[in-house]
């Protein structure tokens, strides 16, 4: 007897192609080979739809280690099988339902990770920080210091990048030490403070874990009174007292894990990870900056200086950079910070933390570099 | 109609076809990219599975299509296991670097080598996952062989490629392809690779000369320009910055020479890249063997140039569109926040637009690339291939079993590709 083939059958043990005739019976499919020989019988509940090109129904069996396949292009037969096999995913509807669920759950997971990053990580970092020994923090600070120093010393000045060591700078150094000494005595921190004035023209200062503070020459220039500079220094000491450097390192590690590893870099190039980190870091930094401001106000009051001087120098820096977008991104709430500092009432009169002689010397701490060095270094920079 | 009739109307055993439609693939890619953004990338396991299912099931060899049987949940599982391996590894590397700050460079080098090895290991194992999930005529492909050995070979060869400025690339490709194909099988049919490094080298040498040559020539010319005696004299006088002396001594001429060389090299790269890709594809496809089955590629270079030209055009068009939209968005956001210049909204709007713009451009260009280049090359590669000795494909015995998705997960976690 000859049959009319309406499907192709692979038995899973060999790649031989069998043109078969498939009969959709009451309980399952009968697969008939040449001369009507029954090659196999598949019951409806065990049928599974496999991925196939358009217009083809490709069937496999569930729980089968062999990869037996039945490929059907006959539209009437496909309709008949889909009609009878109730568990067979008709037209892929069940798969689409499952997929919608996957998308929903993924969205929920993404939202949960974002919430964790914004609120959970700072809390976690805050809980871990008390258990980080000062020795580890100092080591971390040294490691960061190497990177930071070479990053901000863009002119490759080396040792000459720090002010206060050259001729004519000694008195400035002494004045800075006096100012830092007063603040350190009032702060009474376990860390030894090491303040470095460096040759950079931006009005900026930064604190590293372990007690290292960089003050840019540009900030010293911008300060009109010793208390203004002291206010900024006290703010940086606040970062050290609150161990914000370690906090940021912990948070950055956590963010790298969440966004770099768990979520996967779906855009490529790591830029989304960096962008997400930058955005979230600035959200952390608002809280951290206002806490350091409050610390500065308290420390200045304790040391006998003017706590409001910090607000004055911040206002001057902001007004100079009114149109610069960068400072706004770095410190989005500078105006709010100034208002908060100004709102604190100060009891009694204050005295400047340095006298006029000391302040004048401090203003000169970064003397112009000797001409010979300047030309060679200029050549290297070019 | 008899069985004999059917067989005679079936396509010849050696014909390879690609049945995929570009419009359908665009839809698949765009939908996937949108879901990737919304789920911050978590959807990638399902996206990758959909893409593979589509490409596999529309690739037809001798009238029968391939089938991808992998599941997204397997990829997710592999990724979670990989995280369990990679996260402690990263932690160990970071804490070692912190503890041994004096041996910073050595630690960094060792860590880099470990990660490169692990990355190559992951790529080999990911290939195994994909092969064991590839079914053709009810029989699966398989890959065995040590992934660590492959990783060591890959590390050595890629080092050699870098040291020789790319001259070793043909032999690196040939060796690694041979290793991969020798350990690949379709059922009981063993794979092999018959491409030779020397043949690729001869064909690729003109490309290398035009791309790397200008830079080499520029450096030789630079060496001739420098007054070495004067330089040695200055070094002897204790000048500690030889680069500054070199640049100071040669002056702006050096920049002209090096700049022109780099310009020529970039121009050559842009112009020759599609041609090189065509050469590489032809060489690779024509080297594939399964038992007595051999493959010949008739891929034409002009076809590949058309693919890349189309990519450039689509990308330009897309950038124009994005720029126009972004300008409009900036204008509208400016109008909305205009009266409240000091609010947090005014500060956040530009950075939010920038971030959004970045994501749209990166994903958009990658989607265009995937459709216009990867999809087109898959189609061209398949349709230009011709199998000989394909009769044997009727009598291959099944063997092998599915492998774990650990390699895929590792490749994903390490960011070396794969998914």
pLDDT exceeds 80 at position A330 = no
> B252's torsion region: left (phi>0), alpha (psi -120 to 50) or beta?
alpha
Residue A309 resides in a domain: yes
Q: How many CB pairs under 8 A join A and B?
A: 166
DSSP-based three-state secondary structure for A14: strand
> A181 lies in a domain?
yes
* End residue of a domain, out of A53, A88, A123: A88
> Is B43's CB within 8 Å of A106's CB?
yes
Asked if residue A172 and residue A73 are part of one domain, the reply reads no
**For residue A173, is pLDDT > 60?**
yes
Structure token digits, residue B63 = 């009238």
Average pLDDT (A213-219) is 90
Of the partner residues B58, B101, B347, the one whose CB lies closest to the CB of residue A139: B101
With an 8 Å Cβ cutoff, are B36 and A266 in contact? yes
Of A319 and B307, the structure prediction assigns the larger pLDDT to: B307
Its sign, for the CA torsion A173, A176, A182, A188, is negative
Tell me: do A15 and A124 sit in the same domain.
no
Picking from A348, A339, A317, the residue whose alpha carbon sits closest to that of residue A330 is A317
Residue A258 lies in a domain: yes
H or E stretch at A302: helix A271-303
Is residue A48 located within the same domain as residue A174? no
CA A137 to chain centre: 20
> Do A276 and A361 belong to one domain?
yes
Q: Does A108 reside within a domain? A: no
User: Scanning every residue of chain A, which has its alpha carbon at the shortest distance from the alpha carbon of B243?
Assistant: A380
Report residue B403 CA to chain centroid gap.
23
**Alpha-carbon Rg of chain B, whole angstroms?**
26
Contact B244 A65 (CB under 8 A): no
Listed residue (A219, A286, A255, A338) closest to B344, CA to CA: A286
In the numeric block, which tokens belong to residue B293? 């089955």
* Partner-chain residue, chosen from B19, B37, B41, that has the shortest CB–CB distance to A264: B41
pLDDT at B104: 67
**What's the rounded Cα separation, in Å, for the pair A151 and B13?**
64
- A64 CA to chain B: closest CA distance, Å? 12
Of residues A58, A268, A272, nearest to B366 (C-beta)? A268
CB contact under 8 A, B35 and A103: yes
Q: Which is nearest to B40 in space by CA: A265, A151, A245?
A: A265
B135 to A69: CB separation less than 8 angstroms, yes or no = yes
Residues 6+ apart with CB under 8 A from B222: B250, B254, B257, B258
Indicate whether A172 and A278 sit together in one domain.
yes
| pLDDT (mean) for A362-372 | 78
Q: Each residue of A183-214: pLDDT tens digit? A: 999 988 888 889 999 998 888 888 888 888 99
A381 to chain B, closest Cα gap in Å: 8
Chain B residue closest to A101 (CA)? B43
Question: What are the φ and ψ backbone dihedral angles of A57, each rounded to 5 degrees?
Answer: -100, 120
Per-residue pLDDT at A281: 66
Judged by CB atoms closer than 8 Å, whether chains meet at B138 and A66 is answered as yes
Kindly determine whether residue A263 and residue B42, on different chains, have CB atoms separated by under 8 Å.
yes
Q: Which residue of B has its CA nearest to A99?
A: B46
Round to whole Å and give the CA distance between B299 and B385. 8
Same domain for A129 and A25? no
Among residues A52, A17, A9, A57, the alpha carbon closest in space to that of B19 is found at: A52
Tokens of A153: 């010393």
CB spacing of B67 vs A51 below 8 angstroms: yes
Q: Which residues of A touch B243 (CB under 8 A)?
A: 380
User: Residue range A333-342: average pLDDT?
Assistant: 81
Instruction: List phi, psi (to 5°) of B29.
Output: -70, -45
Question: Is A153 in the same domain as A35?
Answer: no
Are A69 and A156 found together in one domain?
no
Claim to verify: residue A77 and residue A128 sit in the same structural domain = no
Pairing assessment for the beta strands A57-61 and A47-50 based on DSSP bridges: antiparallel
A376:B83 CB<8 A: no
Query: Are A127 and A24 contained in the same domain?
Result: no
Contact between chains at B42 and A264 (C-beta distance less than 8 A):
yes
Which residues, listed in sequence order, are joined to residue A162 by a DSSP beta bridge?
A: A198
Q: What is the CATH number of the domain that holds A12?
A: 2.30.29.30
Please indicate whether, in this complex, the C-beta atoms of A382 and B7 are within 8 angstroms of each other.
no
- Does any domain span residue A263? yes
**CB-based contact B247 A14, cutoff 8 Å:** no
User: Does residue A332 lie within any of the structural domains?
Assistant: yes
Q: Which residue of B has its CA nearest to A54?
A: B58
Quick: pLDDT tens for A223-274. 999 999 999 999 999 999 988 888 888 887 787 777 766 666 555 545 566 6
Q: What pLDDT does residue A130 have?
A: 87
Last residue of a domain, one of A88, A106, A129: A88
Q: Which of A54, A88, A122 is the last residue of a domain?
A: A88
pLDDT tens for chain B, 419 residues long, are: 334 444 434 456 678 999 999 999 999 999 999 998 888 888 889 999 999 999 999 999 988 999 999 999 999 999 889 888 888 888 888 777 766 656 667 778 888 899 899 999 999 999 999 999 999 999 999 999 999 999 999 999 999 999 999 999 999 999 999 999 999 999 999 999 999 999 999 999 999 999 998 888 888 887 777 666 666 666 666 555 556 555 555 666 777 888 888 899 999 999 999 999 999 999 999 999 999 999 999 999 999 999 999 999 999 999 999 999 888 887 887 777 655 555 555 556 666 777 778 888 888 998 999 999 999 999 999 999 999 988 888 888 888 787 888 888 888 777 666 55
Cβ contact B40–A110 (<8 Å):
yes
Residues A35, A145 within the same domain: no
Whether A146 and A13 share a structural domain: no
Q: By CA distance, what is B44's nearest residue in A?
A: A266
Inside any domain, residue A1: no
Residue A340 — very low, low, confident or very high, per pLDDT cuts 50/70/90?
confident
Q: Which of A2, A11, A271 sits opposite B358 (nearest CB)?
A: A271
pLDDT tens sequence across A46-60:
898 898 988 899 999
Number of other residues whose CB lies within 10 A of the CB of residue A372: 8
> In chain A, how many domains are there?
2
**Facing residue for A380 by CB, picked from B42, B43, B244:** B244
ipTM given for this complex: 0.79
Which residues in chain A are contacts of B122 at CB distance < 8 A? none
Residue range(s) defining the domain that contains residue A68 = 7-88
Residue A72 C-alpha, separation from nearest chain B C-alpha, in angstroms = 12
In a domain, A13, yes or no: yes
Residue B135 has its nearest CB partner, among A67, A270, A328, at A67
Burial class (CB in 10 A: 0-12, 13-18, 19+), B45: buried
């Amino acid at each position: 007897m000859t049959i009319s083939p309406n499907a192709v059958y692979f038995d899973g043990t060999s790649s031989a192609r069998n043109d078969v005739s498939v009969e959709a019976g009451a309980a399952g499919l009968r697969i008939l080979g040449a001369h009507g020989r029954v090659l196999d019988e598949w019951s409806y509940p065990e049928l599974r739809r496999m991925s196939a090109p358009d217009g083809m129904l490709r069937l496999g069996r569930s729980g089968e280690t062999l990869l037996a396949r039945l490929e059907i292009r006959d539209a009437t037969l496909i309709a008949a099988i889909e009609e009878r096999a109730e568990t067979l995913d008709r037209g892929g509807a069940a798969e689409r339902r499952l997929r919608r669920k996957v998308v929903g759950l993924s969205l929920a997971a993404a939202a949960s990770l974002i919430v964790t990053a914004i609120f959970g990580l700072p809390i976690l970092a805050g809980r871990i920080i008390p258990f980080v020994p000062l020795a580890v923090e100092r080591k971390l600070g040294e490691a960061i210091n190497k990177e930071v120093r070479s990053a901000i010393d863009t002119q490759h000045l080396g040792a000459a990048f720090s002010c206060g060591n050259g001729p004519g700078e000694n008195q400035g150094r002494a004045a800075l030490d006096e100012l830092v000494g007063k603040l350190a005595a009032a702060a009474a921190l376990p860390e030894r403070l090491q303040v470095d004035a460096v040759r950079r023209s931006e009005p900026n200062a930064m604190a590293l874990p372990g007690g290292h503070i960089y003050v840019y020459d540009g900030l010293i220039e911008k300060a009109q009174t010793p208390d203004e500079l002291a206010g900024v220094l006290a703010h940086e000491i606040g970062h050290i007292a609150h161990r914000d450097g370690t906090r940021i390192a912990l948070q950055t590690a956590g963010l790298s894990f969440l966004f770099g590893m768990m979520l996967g870099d779906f855009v490529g190039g790591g830029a989304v990870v960096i962008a997400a980190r930058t955005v979230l870091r600035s959200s952390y930094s608002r809280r951290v900056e206002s806490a350091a401001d409050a610390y500065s106000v308290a420390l200045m009051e304790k040391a006998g200086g003017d706590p409001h001087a910090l607000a004055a120098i911040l206002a001057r820096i902001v007004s100079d950079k009114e149109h610069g977008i960068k400072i706004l991104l770095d410190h989005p709430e500078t105006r709010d910070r100034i208002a908060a500092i100004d709102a604190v009432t100060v009891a009694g009169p204050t005295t400047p933390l340095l006298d006029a002689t000391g302040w004048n010397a401090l203003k000169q701490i970064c003397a112009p570099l000797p001409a010979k060095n300047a030309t060679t270094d200029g050549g290297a920079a070019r | 109609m008899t069985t004999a009739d059917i067989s005679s109307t079936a396509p010849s055993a050696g014909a390879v076809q690609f049945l995929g439609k570009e419009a359908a693939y665009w839809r698949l890619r765009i939908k996937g990219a949108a879901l990737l953004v919304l789920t911050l990338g978590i959807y990638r396991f399902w996206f990758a599975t959909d893409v593979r299912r589509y490409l596999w099931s529309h690739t037809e060899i001798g009238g029968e299509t391939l089938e991808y049987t992998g599941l997204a949940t397997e990829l997710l599982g592999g990724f979670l296991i990989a995280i369990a391996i990679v996260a402690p590894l990263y932690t160990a590397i970071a804490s070692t670097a912190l503890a041994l700050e004096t041996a910073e460079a050595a630690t960094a080098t060792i860590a880099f080598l470990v990660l490169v090895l692990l990355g190559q290991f992951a790529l080999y194992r990911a290939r195994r996952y994909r092969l064991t999930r590839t079914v053709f005529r009810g029989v699966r492909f398989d890959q065995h062989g040590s992934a660590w050995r492959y990783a060591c070979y890959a590390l050595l060869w890629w080092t050699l490629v870098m040291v020789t400025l790319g001259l070793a690339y043909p032999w690196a490709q040939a060796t690694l392809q041979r290793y991969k194909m020798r350990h690949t099988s379709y059922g009981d049919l063993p794979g092999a690779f018959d491409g030779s490094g020397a043949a690729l080298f001869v064909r690729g040498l003109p490309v290398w000369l035009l791309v790397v040559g200008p830079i080499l020539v520029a450096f030789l010319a630079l060496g001739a320009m420098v007054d070495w005696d004067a330089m040695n004299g200055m070094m002897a006088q204790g000048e500690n910055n030889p680069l500054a002396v070199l640049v100071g001594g040669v002056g702006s001429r050096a920049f002209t020479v090096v700049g022109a060389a780099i310009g020529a090299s970039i121009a050559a790269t842009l112009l020759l890249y599609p041609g090189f890709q065509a050469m590489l594809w032809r060489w690779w496809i024509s080297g594939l063997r399964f038992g007595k089955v051999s493959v010949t590629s008739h891929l034409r270079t002009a076809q590949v140039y058309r693919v890349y030209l189309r990519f450039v055009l689509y990308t330009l068009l897309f950038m124009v569109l994005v720029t126009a939209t972004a300008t409009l968005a900036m204008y509208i956001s400016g109008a909305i926040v205009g009266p409240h210049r000091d609010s947090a909204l005014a500060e956040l709007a530009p950075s939010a637009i920038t971030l959004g713009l970045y994501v749209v451009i990166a994903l958009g260009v990658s989607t265009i690339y995937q459709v216009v280049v990867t999809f087109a090359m898959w189609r061209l590669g398949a349709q230009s291939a011709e199998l000989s000795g394909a009769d044997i494909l009727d009598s291959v015995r099944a063997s092998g079993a599915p492998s774990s998705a650990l390699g895929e997960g590792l490749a994903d976690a390490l960011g070396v590709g794969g998914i």
